[in-house]
Amino acid sequence: MSTVCLDTEILTLPPSGCGLEEFRRWALSDESPDRAPVFYLAGEVWIDMSKEQIFSHVRLKQEFFQVLGSLAKQKRLGKFFPDGMLLSNEDADVSGNPDGTFVTNASFRAERVRLVEGAESGHVEMEGSPDMVLEVVSDSSVEKDTEVLKDLYWKAGIREYWLVDARGEGLQFDIFRRTSRGYSLAPKNGGWMKSAVFGHEFRLTRRTDELGHPEFTLKAR
């Protein structure tokens, strides 16, 4: 990892810099930046050094963590993992830290995913094809989230790709379902979308709280 080019807030390693396996070793080592999203995207390494926005990213992710984590636990559907976990898939030549990842119990039993143990202790990486991945768009990740990862997650066999963009005045929440030719946008009915993975419909809303801050609510039915 000797050649790193700084381009605004993104550190990019050229394709000749490393391969997937070398990236995975680096991402789990002390050399990788703490808490910074890092991705290996079919030959290119992206490191996002920008600061996460408190409301349109941090608080928004927290809402998804709470709702989906509780739903998965209460219904015994599987395991929802928040950001910070390295996800790798050799078929798609991709590795990185999604904003959220969900694996059903059936996928665990069928070994469509494998938890990788660290050099010292515990599990530090997931390898394979989880059932759902969540990404929250920031100013520095638009192309990565809306184009590059959408293609690579499909190649990785991930059944649903959840994409959220709450920057500025807009609020966009989409569930993409995997088909044989790519991802297809789930239809919306009054803002509700059906997730085949969770077996529920979801709707995301935003209001202004008593302090004037944006507040997000993810509802499931």
Within 8 A by CB and 6+ apart from 190, the residues are 203
Per-residue pLDDT at 123: 82
121 confidence band (pLDDT: 50, 70, 90): low
Per-residue pLDDT at 119: 59
Q: How far apart are CA 39 and CA 31, in angstroms?
A: 14
Per-residue pLDDT at 17: 66
Per-residue pLDDT at 124: 86
Whether residue 162 has pLDDT greater than 50: yes
Model confidence pLDDT, tens digit, residues 168-193: 888 999 999 999 999 999 999 999 99
Per-residue pLDDT at 165: 96
What tokens does 212 get?
A: 């004037």
DSSP-assigned states of every residue in 59-121: IHHHHHHHHHHHHHHHTT-EEEEETT-EEEETTTTEEE--SEEEEEHHHHHTTSEEEEEPSSS
DSSP 8-state symbol, 51: P
Model confidence pLDDT, tens digit, residues 26-83: 888 877 766 667 899 998 888 877 777 888 889 999 999 999 999 999 999 999 999 8
Residue type for position 116: V
**In terms of DSSP bridges, do strands 123-128 and 86-89 run parallel, antiparallel, or are they unpaired?**
parallel
Q: How far apart are CA 139 and CA 166, in angstroms?
A: 11
Model confidence pLDDT, tens digit, residues 134-159: 999 999 999 999 999 999 999 999 99
Q: How many CA atoms lie within 13 A of 180 on its CB side?
A: 0
List the domain boundaries for the chain.
52-220
| pLDDT averaged over every residue in the chain | 89
CATH of 52-220 given 3.40.50.2300, 3.40.630.10, 3.30.70.100, 3.90.1570.10? 3.90.1570.10
Whether residue 13 has pLDDT greater than 60: no
Determine if the pTM surpasses 0.85: yes
